[in-house]
Amino acid sequence: MDSGSTAWVLASAALVLFMTPGLALFYGGMVRSKNVLAMLMKNYVAMGIVTITWITVGFSLAFSGDVGGGLIGDLKLWGVRDLGLGNEQFGYEIPDLLFMAFQMMFAIITPALIAGAVAERMKFTAWVAFVAIWSIVVYAPMAHWVWGGGFIAEDIKALDFAGGLVVHINAGVAALVLVLVLGPRIGFRRDVIRPHSLPLTILGAGILWFGWFGFNAGSALAANGGAANAFVTTHVAAAVAATTWTIVEGMRHGKPTTLGFVSGAVAGLVAITPAAGFVSPLSAVVIGIAAGSICFYALQLKFRFNFDDSLDVIAVHLVGGIIGALLLGFLAEARIGGVDGALLGEREWIQVWRQFLSIVVAIVWAGVVTFIIVKAIDMTIGLRVSEDEERQGLDLALHEEQGYILAD
Amino acid sequence: MKLVIAYINPFKLDEVRDALKESVGGLSAGNVQGFGRQGGHTETYRGAEYEVQFVPKIRVEVIVDDADVAGVVAKIEETARTGQTGDGKIAVLPVEEIVRIRTGERGPDAL
């Protein structure tokens, strides 16, 4: 084990956890004030619920052993028992317990991402049930396939440095399924529904950008040059995507917006996530430009196809994740991450095919299983609040709280 | 006694208050949204443009003795005017009763 690596990954795990409150603020500022607490709650509660599912069975299913030739882990590490203070189990430069904890923070934020799509109309009980089940049945297998020695890594040989597939495409598809089953908010496309506090959103985006250094550079699982590369590509992609989005938006709508700048940054961060440890900073510029422009145009998908993805989870995470995962197939360089893509080094075009295949697998898996979970919850608990509750606002209706009591 | 209600631009509130300080016992001001001849504006969020009809205004309320009404209305008019659409309106309403809560005084003594 290496003390520098252990220190870095400890810090990274904390950074990644901090991203969930950052995400909560990012989303919270964009909903109407009567729903701000409900949105924050949907994010924060993931920190509670997924910790429990991860510690009990999630981690083991993702990372312990292998059953079925790359399909799922076993339950030998249930309750994360036998995870010692050393690295005998996994052989990284960090303690096994820390590896589990670092992965846990990813498991937490992934379902939290979905909350943005179902804003202002989903029942809290249904959400809790969804997060608990999804984290075990959809997330853990994906983590196993990509990072736990499963078939996406071993057989398809696709690359995913920090979670383009496992986190962003996974959550993005699940969000789409939920949005289609849940239906649109009252007043979607008719009423003026505006973010109630963009300062909160912008603060949240800053926290996400900061925490993402832990998300990507921490995924090197070591304090070394690889981590440094991931650090740089992460930042470059964010900055370039934010600038690109702002320019495109300014040209299209006449004024650059603060919401546009931070949305561009997040899109860039999403897109670089699978590629951070495999591509160069210049490639990160390319990825940033792609994410900052394509994701901007992807915003129109919900109007084109008439679905209420309230906070654009699909345009940013699903589309951004696909952009990053695919471009990785072109831009990977062996001198950085050990594998060449189609355009550089040995020009391995096969890597583009591998990336494409892994994306398809992720979309099908997340789509089908999420649909089953969502339908089951809808038929038992019910997914959506009543019309009265939706009009009143979820903070009062579901939590008996008010976010802002200005008279006192 | 009369209740004078004035809908004015938010940036005029300080001037109006300063102008009325000597003439009135007190004043209340609250945030409202409204529209009249002044149209709304466009806001853009995540690629979607919204026509927002409402404009923020301030509603000032003062209760004055009949003798002072004309003077108060004139002061508000002068200080709140910019000459642009959206300056607002003033309304004068009759007041039946007025009570000072602390002392129980009624009528003009309560002003």
* Domains detected in chain B: 2-110 (3.30.70.120)
A253 touches chain B (CB under 8 A): yes
Contact B52, B40 (CB under 8 A): yes
What number is the average pLDDT over the span B17-37? 91
ipTM over 0.90: no
Span A338-352, average pLDDT:
95
pLDDT (mean) for A73-97: 95
pLDDT tens column, A293-310: 999 999 999 999 999 999
Residue A187 has pLDDT above 80, yes or no: yes
Tell me the sheet residues that pair with B57.
B32
Q: What residue ranges do the domains of chain A occupy?
A: 3-399
- A3-399 is a CATH 1.10.10.10 domain: no
Instruction: Give A174's pLDDT tier (boundaries 50, 70, 90).
Output: very high
Question: pLDDT confidence of A71, banded at 50, 70, 90?
Answer: very high
Taking residues B89-109, what's their average pLDDT? 94
Q: Is the Cβ of A195 closer than 8 Å to some Cβ of chain B?
A: yes
Whether the CB-CB separation of A127 and A189 falls below 8 Å is answered with no
Chain A with chain B: Cβ pairs closer than 8 A: 28
- Say what percent of chain A tops pLDDT 70: 100
d(CA A305, CA A309): 11
> Is the pLDDT score of A343 beyond 80?
yes
Give how far A30 is from chain B: nearest CA, Å. 9
User: How confident is the model over A366-377, as a mean pLDDT?
Assistant: 98
So what's the pLDDT on residue A135?
98
Is the distance from CB of A229 to CB of A278 less than 8 angstroms?
no
The C-alpha R_g of chain A, in whole angstroms, comes to: 20
Taking the C-alpha atoms of residue B91 and residue B89, their distance in angstroms, rounded to an integer, is 7
**Predicted model pTM:** 0.93
pLDDT, tens digit, 9 for 90 and up, residues A31-51: 999 999 999 999 999 999 999
Mean pLDDT of B93-107: 94
pLDDT band at A391 (very low <50, low <70, confident <90, very high): very high
Residue A105 exposed, middle or buried by CB count within 10 Å (0-12, 13-18, 19+): buried
Cβ distance of A249 and B47 shorter than 8 Å: yes
The yes-or-no verdict on residue A407 having pLDDT over 80 is no
Residue B109 is predicted with a pLDDT of 86
Give the model confidence (pLDDT) of A146-155 as tens digits: 999 999 999 9
Chain A nearest-CA residue for B52: A192
Q: How many residues comprise chain B?
A: 111
Is pLDDT at A408 greater than 80 in this prediction? no
Q: Is the pLDDT of residue A162 over 90?
A: yes
Backbone angles phi, psi at A405, to 5 degrees: -115, 90
pLDDT at B25: 85
Radius of gyration of chain B (CA): 17
* Residue A256 forms contact with B (CB below 8 Å): no
Place of tokens 């404009």: B55
Q: Do A194 and B44 touch (CB under 8 A)?
A: no
Chain B neighbors of A407, CB-CB under 8 A: none
- Helix A170-182, helix A350-380: angle, nearest 10: 40
Determine the Cα angle at B110 with ends B106 and B111, to 5°.
Answer: 140
Of A185-194, A197-206, A282-291, the one with minimum mean pLDDT is A185-194
Q: What is the pLDDT of residue A246?
A: 97
pLDDT in tens, B40-85: 888 999 888 888 888 999 999 999 999 999 999 999 999 999 999 9
Q: How much of chain A, in percent, has pLDDT values that exceed 90?
A: 98
Q: Give chain B positions within 8 Å (CB) of A249.
A: 44, 47
- Check residue A8 and give its pLDDT: 98
CA A94/CA A104 separation, integer angstroms? 15
Contact A259 B51 (CB under 8 A): no
